[in-house]
Structure 1
């Protein structure tokens, strides 16, 4: 596959693109992370800019920006059992634009849909149970990008993406039933958190959840939802760094009693002038 021809085809569809770091063999965190500052708000829309990233011998992968920028929702499947139940309920979803690595399991696909009557929030596998729902503030690695294992991303069903219906979203989020008792993962408020206030709001929110007894893993799982409540959406990678920082500080143990209070008692003594004075005396041994 010719990378520049693929890039051109994505741009012709009206999809916004972003460069993604090159993969490194054996490094599972490589080959999937955008590196441009403010990438969530600055899509590549023309070939001239695209050539600067994908015609320079640096082996950058190609990312398509999901959400309103490209008019896309992408479902990234990590656990097939739950998602198969969704496909049984909505079999038409098997025939939408689909991408898979050539060395991946047959079920491990990216299913593409176009935004229709509403824009869903993004979710990760912790909240869905089956994988990632990628919308605003996210990107999906597209062909002919290369996975860190050496696998190449390919289009396995080259058709137009289906409209993403509200009933799809409801079914996908019901796949993982919530426990009867859960701690409320409250966000800073109903109104959008504005740029310039996002980091402070996120820090306060994470500290509050930590004080409520939530673990770092639980707070990280809720962080993508927080990011979508920001205007513009907060970069998830940066948000997770802030959460990590909040949990890196040890909560000091409050000491209500000092050694003096524990090992001494307050008594009285009479000075040379015959006046009574307070005096701290050590406890006796028994």
Structure 2
């Protein structure tokens, strides 16, 4: 059982809901990211999703695109991301860490080398935004050898055979992108999300996380009622950007935000 599976299984047994915050590695600087990850865990995060900075993040909205730009301006590369995870793992052997990014940096390094490095530093899961399941066999084989879960995105337009294919290929959990378009956009329609979740659950017994469009504790709670996990991205990254000039204030703000989400999920 992977660290992700164990984490989500324990939470489910306790009738809880998982909280998965996203931040971009290297934003505002590589030296602070591991500390921010620890602060997120202290505030109530169950799993950390760490974005790998990329120059053309097509699935991301302006907030996370700018986070990638800030990280790249700090010269954050893939090896820096691995070093951040290693630093985090020196103190935290329990909290699962998922890398989320794009195929290009993985291909440049090579599947085998990338996965070996990821495994060595303690990465538990991988989301490759622009790698469909029908093209993922080689990477999936490498990930399985190192017990790293490959997590796929599902969207409102994922239906039929494609939905079935993704459900079969995925491990760890399924990640439902609750809005069409890019991260941080529009407003959530909880009823439509619930309908789609029922459709997905008919195809898979994997835990289901919902992300995109979750901006505050109220929305997180509404989504938590119908899913197993809530992913918070743009709303958190916005706070990191807003307070990037003052580390102490940034930590205070993001901790307070995550605590509010944790309380909301614990009161379902």
TM-score over 0.5 for the alignment? Answer: no
Please give the TM-score of this superposition, normalised by the length of structure 2: 0.28
Please give the TM-score of this superposition, normalised by the length of structure 1: 0.27
The one of the two structures with greater contact order (alpha-carbon pairs below 8 A, sep at least 6) is: 2
The structure with the largest alpha-carbon Rg is: 1
More strand by share: 1
More helix by share: 2
